[in-house]
């Protein structure tokens, strides 16, 4: 089996093999485990150094950048770069990883958990088995899931348990708003600057993402450079100054729009000005 270019099925096989090796490592006596972990760490450092050099050189080569961008889309390559910290995993990946770690404990209580989605710093999960009742076990299982997710997913603020029944879909009122009209020179009024809190992001006018880092504003089209998917639910880390796409985990410099995951691409930044307390951008589309 060839890892490079492997499909999702191959990725699952490789991931299971890694999980099995980690489990076997835990069964070794302390001396053997320490030696095995040191060997693992040394090999990973070699891999990380080599991969970092490859990514850096491909980023610096105009002809190689498109290939680097395509490689990041390969599931096995993406897993490899994520494991070595070269690209940052998306919130869904981090949530699934956190739940996988706690799942054996859930099974021991007769329950299980399914990640439904991660939206706006809230993880929605469905508890199964013993978790569906109102027993003390269900409380314990919810606490285990909540603790694992809040610890394993940066910037996650809450965990909500949903039922197995379908719920009606509500369309936000702002989604029905008629987009603001542009001035003849292309500038669009997006409303009061006070509507964008410090260290927050907002989607305004339907297709403009405005980022406020310490009272410094930047504006971009609300489209990830990867597949043009919206960034309204992106994970925004004001301290690090990064914006992470909720769909495939592409990470951007929140001020410049430069992509930190797939070098050589970036968000489409828009000219921005503030007049009389209102935010204006020039879209050009």
Tell me the three state secondary structure of residue 277. coil
Reported as a single tens digit per residue, the pLDDT across 104-152 is 888 777 788 888 888 778 888 888 765 444 444 556 788 889 998 998 8
Q: How confident is the model at residue 220 (pLDDT cuts 50, 70, 90)?
A: very high
Write down which residue in 52, 83, 114 finishes a domain. 83
pTM (two decimals):
0.41
Shared domain for 228 and 274, answered yes or no, is yes
Mean pLDDT of 82-94: 72
Answer whether residue 194 is part of any domain.
yes
Average pLDDT of the residues in 245-256: 86
One domain for residues 143 and 205:
no
**Higher model confidence: residue 38 or residue 91?**
38
Q: Are residues 53 and 76 in the same domain?
A: yes
Domain co-membership, 277 together with 183:
yes
Among residues 34, 58, 83, the one where a domain terminates is 83
Lowest mean pLDDT among 4-13, 99-108, 121-130, 261-270: 4-13
Do 39 and 75 lie in one domain? The reply is yes
Contact 149, 159 (CB under 8 A): yes
Residue 89 pLDDT class (50, 70, 90 cuts):
low
* Number of structural domains found in the chain: 3
Parallel, antiparallel, or unpaired for β 187-192 and 111-119?
unpaired
Instruction: Over range 58-69, report the average pLDDT.
Output: 79
Give yes or no: residues 22 and 46 share one domain. Answer: yes
User: Residue 229 sits in which domain range?
Assistant: 177-282
**Domain membership flag for residue 195:** yes
Residues 154 and 181 in one domain: no
137: domain CATH number is: 3.30.300.130
Whether residues 77 and 105 fall in one domain: no
Q: Quote the pLDDT of residue 229.
A: 82
Question: Per mean pLDDT, which range of 2-6, 117-121, 182-186, 198-202 is the poorest?
Answer: 2-6
Q: Is 63 part of any domain?
A: yes
For residues 76 and 118, membership in a common domain is answered with no
Q: Is the pLDDT of residue 85 over 90?
A: no
Indicate if 150 and 203 belong to the same structural domain: no
Note whether residue 128 is domain-resident: yes
Q: How far apart are alpha carbons 118 and 154 in whole angstroms?
A: 12
| Mean pLDDT computed over 42-70 | 83
Q: Is residue 2 part of a domain?
A: no
The first and second tokens of residue 228, run together, are 């043009």
Does any domain span residue 167? no
Closest CA to 205 of 193, 190, 224, 218: 190
Residue 172 within a domain: no
In a domain, 170, yes or no: no
Q: Give the bridge partners for 192, in sequence order.
A: 278
Give dist(CA 162, CA 115) in Å, integer.
10
DSSP assignment of 34-75, as one string? HHHHHHHHHHHHHHHHHHHHHHHHHHH-TTTHHHHHHHHHSH
Do 70 and 95 belong together in one domain? no
pLDDT band at 161 (very low <50, low <70, confident <90, very high): confident
83: phi then psi, degrees, rounded to nearest 5: -60, -35
Whether 64 and 39 map to the same domain: the answer is yes
pLDDT band at 211 (very low <50, low <70, confident <90, very high): very high
Across the chain, mean pLDDT equals 77
Task: Examine the fold and report which residue of 57, 83, 109 is the final residue of a domain before the chain moves on.
Answer: 83
234 and 243 Cβ atoms separated by less than 8 Å: yes
Q: Supply the CATH number for residue 256's domain.
A: 2.102.10.10
């Amino acid at each position: 089996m060839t890892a490079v270019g492997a499909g999702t099925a191959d990725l699952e096989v490789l991931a299971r093999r890694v999980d099995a090796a980690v489990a076997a490592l835990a069964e070794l006596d302390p001396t053997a485990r320490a030696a095995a972990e040191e060997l693992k760490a040394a090999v990973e450092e070699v891999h990380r150094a080599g991969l970092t050099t490859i990514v850096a050189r491909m980023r610096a080569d105009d002809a190689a950048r498109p290939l680097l961008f395509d490689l990041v889309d390969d599931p096995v390559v993406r897993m490899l770069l994520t494991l070595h910290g070269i690209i940052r995993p998306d919130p869904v990946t981090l949530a699934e990883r956190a739940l996988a770690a706690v799942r054996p404990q859930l099974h021991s209580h007769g329950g299980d958990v399914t990640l439904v989605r991660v939206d706006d710093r809230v993880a929605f999960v469905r508890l199964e088995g013993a978790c569906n009742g109102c027993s003390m076990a269900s409380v314990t299982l919810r606490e285990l899931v909540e603790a694992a997710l809040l610890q394993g997913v940066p910037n996650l603020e809450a965990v909500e348990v949903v039922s197995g029944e379908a719920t009606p879909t509500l369309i936000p009122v702002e989604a029905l708003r008629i987009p603001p009209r542009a001035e003849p020179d292309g500038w669009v009024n997006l409303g009061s600057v006070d509507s964008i809190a410090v260290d927050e992001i907002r989607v305004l006018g339907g297709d403009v993402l405005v980022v406020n880092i310490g009272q410094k504003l930047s504006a971009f089209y609300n489209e990830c450079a990867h597949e043009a998917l919206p960034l309204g639910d992106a994970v925004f880390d004001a301290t690090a100054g990064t914006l992470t796409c909720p769909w495939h985990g592409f990470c951007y410099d929140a001020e410049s729009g430069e992509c930190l995951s797939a070098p050589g691409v970036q968000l489409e930044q828009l000219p921005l000005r503030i007049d009389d307390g209102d935010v204006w951008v020039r879209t050009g589309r």
